[in-house]
């Protein structure tokens, strides 16, 4: 069973030593908890894939503690001068933070980390514990989200303990992850700058710095890039996703424990009023709200936490509404889309 560590310097030092010995350490980042391993140690990397039951064709993100370390994992000389300038501007503006860059890789980065792609995903997390840990190892640290493949990402140490407690050596408890959804993955290695995964850094913020970027449609059933598998981030309950305000007033099946997931207090109140007039005297289902005030930042921070809570309550079915498609909205809708019932039991 994993040993829980605090964020005291001596505990972080122990975790750093463990990473250097090829062990697995789950640690907090501002997005979600990561399952860390020495990115230069192929045995440690193999343990990550095994612990997560993750297919090896899905590459990992390599985390660094300082932007000066970027050239040790990414070969920027393969980019045009113009593209290199773009990389510098993005890093200056958004690192440390929830932005992962896909760049040409250095030859010594193991194929297992990158699924033998010519590119590597690199991120400099903003969380002070993550930075301290990586700095103390003196190594690049590969870290996927610390959840079994296809299941909800962890935003608390307890989530990691429940899901992977018997597969990792240490878990550093740094409290709740502030951002709550994974980093935005931006591909700078191909012709068009493209968002491969919407995440904790909104597209609008990237575009306000570098102009229009492409975004691939992650709701396709035919993956075009690694990590585009349609079933992902799934709770145990079957989840159905509806347009804003579109959660049905008649439930699909009798006898199931159903919960509704609303964007805001306002949308819940409106739905409850319609439910009561359509079903006089009927008890309303459990109604959860992502953000009382209708803040997308708060909704992102609460998303995985609420889905974990609904799973702990052994709810059979979750009826969720989409949130507005701006700022962090696309990242939230993407996770909800991929958490849909079809994914249930796949992993």
Side by side, the strands of the sheet bearing 141-142 are 3-5, 170-172, 25-27, 34-38, 141-142, 61-63, 119-123, 99-104, 184-187, 194-197, 214-215
Site string for ligand TXA, 310-339 (x = CB under 6 A): ------------------------------
Residue 74 CB, shortest distance to ligand TXA, in Å, is 10
Instruction: Measure the CA dihedral 124/114/68/5, to 10°.
Output: 40
Residue 203 CB, shortest distance to ligand TXA, in Å, is 16
Residue 26 CB, shortest distance to ligand TXA, in Å, is 9
- Interaction of residue 143 with ligand TXA, rule CB under 6 A: yes
Is 54 annotated to bind a ligand? Reply is: yes
Q: Are 29 and 127 in contact (CB under 8 A)?
A: yes
59 binds, among ligand TXA, Mg ion, none (CB under 5 to 8 A by kind): ligand TXA
Is 31 annotated to bind a ligand? Reply is: yes
Nearest-CB residue for ligand TXA? 227
Is 219 annotated to bind a ligand? Reply is: no
Interaction with Mg ion in 124-183: which residues (CB under 5 A)? 145
Is 123 annotated to bind a ligand? Reply is: yes
Is 183 annotated to bind a ligand? Reply is: yes
The span from the CA of 167 to the CA of 160, in Å, is: 10
- Interaction of residue 183 with ligand TXA, rule CB under 6 A: yes
The span from the CA of 119 to the CA of 104, in Å, is: 4
- Interaction of residue 120 with ligand TXA, rule CB under 6 A: yes
The count of chain residues that interact with Mg ion, using the rule CB under 5 A, is: 1
Is 63 annotated to bind a ligand? Reply is: yes
Is 29 annotated to bind a ligand? Reply is: no
Residue 209 CB, shortest distance to ligand TXA, in Å, is 20
CB closer to Mg ion out of 18 and 60 = 60
Q: Are 232 and 311 in contact (CB under 8 A)?
A: no
- Interaction of residue 177 with ligand TXA, rule CB under 6 A: no
Residue 199 CB, shortest distance to Mg ion, in Å, is 10
Residue of 7, 40, 41, 114 that binds ligand TXA (CB under 6 A)? 114
Is 220 annotated to bind a ligand? Reply is: no
Instruction: For residue 194, count CB atoms less than 10 angstroms from its CB and return exposed for 0-12, middle for 13-18, buried for 19 or more.
Output: middle
Site string for ligand TXA, 194-233 (x = CB under 6 A): --xx---------------------------xxx------
Is 143 annotated to bind a ligand? Reply is: yes
Residue 285 CB, shortest distance to ligand TXA, in Å, is 31
The count of chain residues that interact with ligand TXA, using the rule CB under 6 A, is: 29
336 binds, among ligand TXA, Mg ion, none (CB under 5 to 8 A by kind): none
- Interaction of residue 61 with ligand TXA, rule CB under 6 A: yes
Residues near ligand TXA, by CB under 6 A:
29, 31-32, 34, 58-61, 98, 100, 102, 114, 117, 119-121, 123, 125, 143-145, 182-183, 185, 196-197, 225-227
Residues near Mg ion, by CB under 5 A:
145
User: Which residues sit in the known binding site for L-threonine?
Assistant: 31, 123, 143, 183
């Amino acid at each position: 069973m994993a040993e829980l560590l605090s964020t005291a310097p001596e505990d972080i030092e122990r975790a750093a030593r463990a990473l250097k010995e090829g062990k697995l350490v789950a640690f907090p980042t501002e997005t979600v908890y990561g399952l860390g391993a020495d990115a230069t140690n192929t045995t440690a990397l193999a343990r990550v894939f095994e612990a997560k039951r993750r297919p090896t064709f899905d590459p990992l993100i390599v985390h660094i503690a300082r932007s000066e370390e970027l050239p040790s994992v990414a070969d920027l000389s393969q980019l045009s001068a113009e593209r290199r300038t773009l990389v510098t501007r993005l890093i200056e503006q958004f690192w440390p933070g929830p932005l992962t860059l896909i760049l040409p890789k250095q030859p010594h980065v193991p194929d297992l980390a990158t699924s033998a792609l010519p590119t590597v995903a690199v991120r400099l997390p903003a969380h002070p514990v993550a930075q301290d840990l990586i700095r103390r190892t003196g190594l690049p640290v590969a870290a996927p989200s610390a959840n079994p493949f296809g299941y909800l990402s962890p935003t608390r140490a307890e989530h990691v303990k429940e899901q992977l407690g018997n597969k990792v050596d240490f878990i550093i408890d740094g409290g709740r992850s502030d951002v709550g959804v994974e980093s935005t993955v931006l591909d700078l290695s191909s012709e068009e700058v493209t968002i491969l995964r919407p995440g904790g850094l909104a597209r609008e913020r990237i575009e306000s710095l570098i102009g229009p970027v492409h975004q691939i449609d992650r709701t396709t059933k035919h993956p075009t890039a690694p990590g585009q598998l349609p079933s992902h981030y799934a709770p145990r309950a079957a989840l159905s996703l509806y347009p804003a305000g579109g959660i049905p007033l008649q439930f699909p099946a009798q006898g199931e424990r159903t919960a509704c997931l609303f964007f805001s207090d306002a949308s819940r109140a409106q739905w409850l009023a319609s439910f009561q007039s359509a079903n006089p005297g009927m008890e309303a289902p459990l109604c959860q709200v992502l953000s009382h005030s209708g803040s997308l930042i708060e909704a992102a921070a609460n998303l995985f936490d609420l889905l974990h809570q609904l799973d702990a309550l052994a709810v059979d079915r979750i009826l969720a509404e989409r949130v507005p498609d701006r700022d962090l909205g696309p990242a939230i809708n993407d996770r909800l889309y991929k958490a849909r019932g079809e994914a249930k039991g796949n992993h």
